[in-house]
Amino acid sequence: MKIFIEPRMITLKHGDQLRERFPKIAFTADPEDGENVDALFCHPSYAIKENLDRYPSLSWVQIMMAGFNTADLRELFRRGITVTNMKDIFHLSVAEDVFTKILAINRNVRHYFEMMHSGTWEPIRHEPEIYGSLVGILGAGSIGSAVATRMKSFGAQTIGWRRKNAPSGGFDEIVTGRYGLEKVMAESDYVVITLPLSEETDHLIGAREIDLMKPNAVIINVGRGEVLDQEALVEALRHGKIRGAGLDVTTPEPLPADHPLWHLPGVFITPHNASSSPFVWPRIVAVLEQNIALRLAGKTLVNIVEE
């Protein structure tokens, strides 16, 4: 078996770990060394026709991220290639990031940092609580479920929106369809976007959906920037239609220094870093080792992306 590992997607340390674990496998980091390559471990944007043509023996692509919207899935499936991703690897750190953003906005952290720099004692006496609130989560996968489960410890109720009406851990209610989406937007005190980008989710949340939100509601986006209409969000914040927004993803990325979102009140932005954790790499390598072992044994891989 021969595996190409895109160099930017793995550290030297963890690449060596795979080589030690599977000494009989030929690993290559040379994109031109395509002969007899059975598998690619790569960024989703690498899995496009131009690159796939280099690997005539390819039968498996391991996407090294949870999202795969930039991969050419249509071409991969047409070739009969098995595609797997890093589902359930980043959900714990991303869920904690959601709480960071909500609490930073609720507790006016940005204001207090500014007061610290000037040595000013200026308390804000009315700061919202998560307790008793309704949290609407768009996307009831591993990230959404991790957020919902943790909301219970804060005393919040949770409602999840997903494509299929199927149960998911941590949610008090699951809704679907257009009616369900509008229900989440209109009734939630916090709207959390955990959705991947697809044709169905591109600009799913626009001016019409934001207008449904409560004036004291907060929107959090840790999914993909394109899911949320950023210009509509700016207008809503400028006119006080919603209380705030916590964003880990934007369009474009990096967000230009002169973009109004940097300066609007009630906004907390991080640079697409919600998954940051010292435990992410061990989890990634564990999935790689598991899937390689399953492949060698002729068994079904984990985290298969369905057509």
Query: What distance in Å separates the CA atoms of residue 192 and residue 137, rounded to the nearest whole number?
Result: 5
* Candidates 224, 226, 243, 295; catalytic one: 224
Domain of residue 48, residue span: 2-89+278-296
Q: For residue range 25-48, list pLDDT tens digits in order.
A: 999 999 999 999 999 999 999 999
110 is known as an active-site residue? no
For residues 173 and 223, state if they share a domain: yes
Instruction: Assess whether pLDDT exceeds 90 at residue 276.
Output: yes
For residues 145 and 169, state if they share a domain: yes
Q: For residue range 119-129, list pLDDT tens digits in order.
A: 999 999 999 99
What total of structural domains would you count in the chain? 2
One-letter amino acid at 64 equals M
* Candidates 150, 272, 283, 289; catalytic one: 272
Q: Give me the CATH number covering residue 292.
A: 3.40.50.720
Q: For residue range 149-184, list pLDDT tens digits in order.
A: 999 999 999 999 998 888 888 999 999 999 999 999
91 is known as an active-site residue? no
Against a cut of 0.85, is the pTM above it?
yes
43 is known as an active-site residue? no
Cβ partners under 8 Å of residue 58, min gap 6: 37, 38, 39, 40, 52, 79, 81
* Candidates 114, 122, 127, 253; catalytic one: 253
